[in-house]
């Protein structure tokens, strides 16, 4: 990489600040209760000068050759944002996950806004968040270096049918998911594309960690994956499906509710194959919303007055093996009206977790 390229990348990783110490476009929300526009437009973020200095310090120039440091071992999958490789750090001999990000306009290079967004994610340090170790921009490509975990929740559920028969294990996993989400939401970072495939499990400690947090903000949520596989809609919140231009942290809580039910039932709760099919699967169970149950819903871009009018079902018939406290928590996560949905932090204090002795 030329000295000019290094300088350009170094400059792109810096945060644009004004005299008040405010930071320019970031991956974070101004207010966790105020949504962001669909498509990932930028919001401003005020942070302490110490945080800004830390971020600037970490935005170091790249090593001369990316592949001199990281050796690809094998391809381990194609995700929403690109190809994932198992790789080895030649400097530390550590096994890492190398995520090559797909760019919509690869000939134009990596947007500096995306680099800033992703660089901020290096600050996210929590035991239930997959650690982003490095951000490498090389030859019009963007690589993210993560800690390596080879088991995800979907694989675990598929290979361990007895998992659903262990209510405590379901509870422990759900608690850890909520811990990770509550942490990210407290830092005003959304996920927007939670699903069992990006909930990774550390085999040695049984810790569950959330992957891909914040990537939707930097790159948007594509309709198809790197290999043109349609991105699943099964965990997508109804406000997004109905075309809302403003949404916030409740979209992640909805996804967790869907995952919770799937862990218990051993099958997806709303397995739609299109946006309208997904909506109708939701409405068949939770009822078709109206202005009484969800004020403002009829004004959303994709709401149709011709939608069939379904009455809500009793969740106990939908998730029959779940204990009453769990049903109450699930119901509070799956409120159609996002303003009535429980927060991740409040969910951690729910009665369902009274026998879980973990600290968020």
Span of 106-110, 135-139, 278-282 with lowest mean pLDDT: 106-110
pLDDT exceeds 90 at position 77: no
**Of the spans 165-169, 206-210, 215-219, 231-235, which averages the highest pLDDT?**
206-210
274, 232 contact by CB (below 8 A): no
- Alpha carbon dihedral 62, 221, 199, 147, in 10-degree steps, equals 0
**Residue recorded with tokens 């994956």:** 225
Can you give the pLDDT at residue 110?
Answer: 65
pLDDT, greater one: 63 or 332: 332
Can you give the pLDDT at residue 209?
Answer: 97
Residues with catalytic function? 193
Specify binding-site residues for ATP.
99
For the chain, how far is it from start to end, CA to CA, in angstroms?
A: 43
pLDDT, greater one: 22 or 343: 343
Can you give the pLDDT at residue 21?
Answer: 33
**Of the spans 11-20, 85-94, 129-138, 339-348, which averages the highest pLDDT?**
339-348
The whole-number average pLDDT for the span 9-30 is 36
Q: Which of 310, 276, 269 is nearest to 290 (CA)?
A: 310
Q: What is the per-residue pLDDT across 213-256, written as a single tens digit (0 to 9) for each?
A: 766 665 565 555 444 445 689 999 999 999 998 889 999 999 99
Q: Give the pLDDT band (50/70/90) at residue 141.
A: confident
Q: Give the pLDDT band (50/70/90) at residue 11.
A: very low
Span of 12-26, 102-116, 147-161 with lowest mean pLDDT: 12-26
Can you give the pLDDT at residue 126?
Answer: 94
Specify binding-site residues.
99
Q: What is the per-residue pLDDT across 254-310, written as a single tens digit (0 to 9) for each?
A: 999 999 999 999 999 999 999 999 999 999 999 999 999 999 999 999 999 999 999
Give the Cα separation of 42 and 37 in Å (integer): 9
Can you give the pLDDT at residue 223?
Answer: 54
Please, what is the average pLDDT of the chain? Answer: 79
The pair of structure tokens assigned to 35 is 């949504």
176, 183 contact by CB (below 8 A): no
**Of the spans 7-21, 99-113, 237-251, which averages the highest pLDDT?**
237-251
The whole-number average pLDDT for the span 190-202 is 92
pLDDT exceeds 50 at position 104: yes
Long-range own/partner contacts, residues 162-168 (CB < 8 A, 24 or more apart): 163/263, 163/266, 164/263, 164/264, 164/265, 164/266, 164/321, 167/323, 167/326, 168/355
The whole-number average pLDDT for the span 327-332 is 99
Domains of the chain plus CATH, in order, are: 151-353 (1.10.510.10)
- The radius of gyration of the chain's CA atoms, rounded to the nearest angstrom, is 21
Span of 37-41, 161-165, 189-193 with lowest mean pLDDT: 37-41
Can you give the pLDDT at residue 109?
Answer: 61
Can you give the pLDDT at residue 40?
Answer: 38
Can you give the pTM of this predicted structure? 0.77
Can you give the pLDDT at residue 115?
Answer: 73
The whole-number average pLDDT for the span 81-96 is 89
How many residues would you count in the chain?
Answer: 360
């Amino acid at each position: 990489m030329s000295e000019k390229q290094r300088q350009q990348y170094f400059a792109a990783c810096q945060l644009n600040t004004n005299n008040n110490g405010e930071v320019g476009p970031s991956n974070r929300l101004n207010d966790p209760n105020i949504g962001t526009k669909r498509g990932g437009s930028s919001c401003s973020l005020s942070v302490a000068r110490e945080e800004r200095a830390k971020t600037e310090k970490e935005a170091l120039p790249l090593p001369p050759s990316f592949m001199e440091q990281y050796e690809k071992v094998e391809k381990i999958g194609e995700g929403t944002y690109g190809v994932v490789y198992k790789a080895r750090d030649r400097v530390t001999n550590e096994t890492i996950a190398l995520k090559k990000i797909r760019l919509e306009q690869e000939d134009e290079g990596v947007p500096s806004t995306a680099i800033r967004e992703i660089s901020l994610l290096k600050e996210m340090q929590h035991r239930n968040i997959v650690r982003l170790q490095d951000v490498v921009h090389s030859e019009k490509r963007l690589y993210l270096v993560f800690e390596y975990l080879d088991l995800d929740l979907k694989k675990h559920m598929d290979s361990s049918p007895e998992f659903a028969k262990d209510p405590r294990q379901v509870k422990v996993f759900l608690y850890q998911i909520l811990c990770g989400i509550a942490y990210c939401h407290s830092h005003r970072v959304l996920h927007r594309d939670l699903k069992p495939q990006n909930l990774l499990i550390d085999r040695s400690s049984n810790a569950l960690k959330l992957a891909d947090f914040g990537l939707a903000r930097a790159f948007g949520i594509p309709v198809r994956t790197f290999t043109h596989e349609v991105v699943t809609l099964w965990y997508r919140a109804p406000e997004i499906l109905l075309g809302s231009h403003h949404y916030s942290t409740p979209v992640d809580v909805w996804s967790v509710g869907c995952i919770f039910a799937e862990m218990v039932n051993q099958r997806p709760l709303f397995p739609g194959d299109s946006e309208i099919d997904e909506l109708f699967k939701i409405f068949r169970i939770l009822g078709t919303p109206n202005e009484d149950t969800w004020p403002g819903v009829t004004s959303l871009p994709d709401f149709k007055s011709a939608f069939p009018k379904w009455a809500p079902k009793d969740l106990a018939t939908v998730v029959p093996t779940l204990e009453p406290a769990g049903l109450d928590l699930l119901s509070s996560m799956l409120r159609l009206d996002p303003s009535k949905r429980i927060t991740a932090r409040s969910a951690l204090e729910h009665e369902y977790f009274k026998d879980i002795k973990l600290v968020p």
